[in-house]
Amino acid sequence: MVRVITQETYDEVVQENIKEFDMSAEEAIQDATAQFEAQGVDLSNIIKDLVLSSGEDHAVSKAITKLKELKNEGDDGEIFKELEILKAECNKDIARRVKAGKEGAYTVLLELLQARQKTYSEEANEKDARYIVNVLNCLVALMDVQPDLLDQRGVDVIKNILDNTEDENILMATLKWTSTCCIKHEMNRQRLFAKNIASNLKSLLQVQNNVKLLSEVLAVIRKFPLDDDIRVEFGKAHDHARELGFLMLDSLTNLLKENSRPPLVSELMQTISSLLVRHELCAAVADGGAGVLFTVLADNADNAAVVQQASRLITALAGNDDVKRQLVKSGIVPIMVLMLTRHCNNASATSSNLKCVAALALREPEHSRQFYDCGAPEAIVDCLNRHPDHPGVQKNGCWAIRNMVARCRDMNPKFKELGVEAILNRAYERFLDDFGFDVKSALRDLECDVKFDEQWTGKGFELEQ
């Protein structure tokens, strides 16, 4: 178990070093840090550069105290100044954000926001909008990696802004705050989703000529299907993805048709992929926009980042066998082999492309033969040779090989001729603990010499009657 201490405990040890051992502030901090780290204490939430020797308050404390004084009748200029100081401090590290959270920064920022919301209108001057954006940006900085601060009041504020505001700068700042609140926090996602935020997101997808705003909308959509909160045994990632998929996939597919080039094309494909959790959703996207994938790949053939997201989307669509067959009939196989060859030096793109090959070849011998005829064995082996230490490339390469040869053993001589056995044995030694079984499975289906360990053996005792 990780050991933690409070900021006060750390400060006391530093003060003791200064007073009892005549150390300078810098020496005292270095010594205290070394002591605690030697004891296995996690100091990631501790501010280590306080001006302790002079007894001054930290900048975080000063800014929060000042904002509390100014929140009722302070000058906007003074509030802006303190917000900027607090945001700059929070952006430095998690320790400052934790300190700010403990000293009530979230409450005072929310009160500042709610007070200005009451008087704000679309006809108000630009200064009011800038005020709200500054407070929202400060909340984003404060809650980065500590979304626990969000409460029901904050959820209501987010919903109120999305319902009643058309100012695009305010909307972008609110969406950034929403994304921050959703990362690694299942309950925040559920509370926001229960407020029917999905309807707001769908409306915002119709915004024209604002790429930044659309990018923030897509980022929020992708947060709801996440399952990244280890504190929650059962989340609602699948439910969120399903509901968002039925609600938004038509709009997202149409946007993809209109944005087949950067800057939005990658984010759109990533967002669509995150929502494809059911067969009928895959079929809906295929019916409405499978053809656009060929356009995207043709328009961005040399862009590894776009090709990577396109291959991930094809992999997600291939989860539906009918859609997979439709894609292959449309001619996706030679294109994927070409992408695999063209981007063989990019490990991330190669990993995604190999996973796509594996998905398209799974349980489909006819697809495997098409890959074989298009030169996939040479491309796969070349990729494995180029990235011997990349786990994604090696694992997905094993799956691609296995799915191709599992029902087409006549392909084995070709792979062996290319030296795949030595490559896989090397991968097994390198990644034994990570995915050694996957490597052995590929070797088995290639009919190479491989020994599987028995997972369980009996003791030889007779069962009692």
**The two three-digit tokens of residue 47, written as one number:** 């501010």
| C-beta separation of 160 from 117 below 8 A | yes
Identify the residue whose tokens are 């191709």: 404
The pLDDT confidence band at residue 251, using thresholds 50, 70 and 90, is very high
pLDDT of residue 42: 84
C-alpha to C-alpha distance for 126 and 437, rounded to whole angstroms: 61
DSSP state of 95: H
What is the per-residue pLDDT for 289? 78
Q: Which CATH number is associated with domain 57-195?
A: 1.25.10.10
Smallest CA-to-CA distance from 329 within 283, 290, 285, 386 is with 290
User: What is the reported pLDDT for 53?
Assistant: 38
Task: Give the domain ranges of the chain.
Answer: 3-42, 57-195, 331-448
Q: Which residues contact 375 (CB under 8 A, 6 or more apart)?
A: 337, 341
Q: Do domains 57-195 and 331-448 have the same CATH topology?
A: yes
Q: Which two tokens stand for residue 431?
A: 């990644």
Q: CA 443, CA 434: separation in Å to the nearest integer?
A: 16
pLDDT tens by residue, 107-153: 999 999 998 887 776 555 688 899 999 999 999 999 999 999 999 99
Measure the CA–CA gap between 63 and 54, rounded to whole angstroms. Answer: 18
Pair 378, 359: CB distance under 8 Å:
no
The CA-atom distances, in angstroms, between 253 and each of 207, 261, 332, 385 are 15, 14, 19, 37
Please give the residue that has the higher pLDDT: either 398 or 51. Answer: 398
For strand 41-42 and strand 3-4, is the pairing parallel, antiparallel, or unpaired? parallel
Tokens matching residue 228:
């990244």
| Radius of gyration in angstroms for the set of CA atoms belonging to the chain, rounded to a whole number | 28
pLDDT tens readout for residues 405-422: 999 999 999 999 999 999
Q: 331-448 sits in which CATH class? A: mainly alpha
Single pTM value for the model: 0.89
CA of residue 77 relative to chain centroid, distance: 36
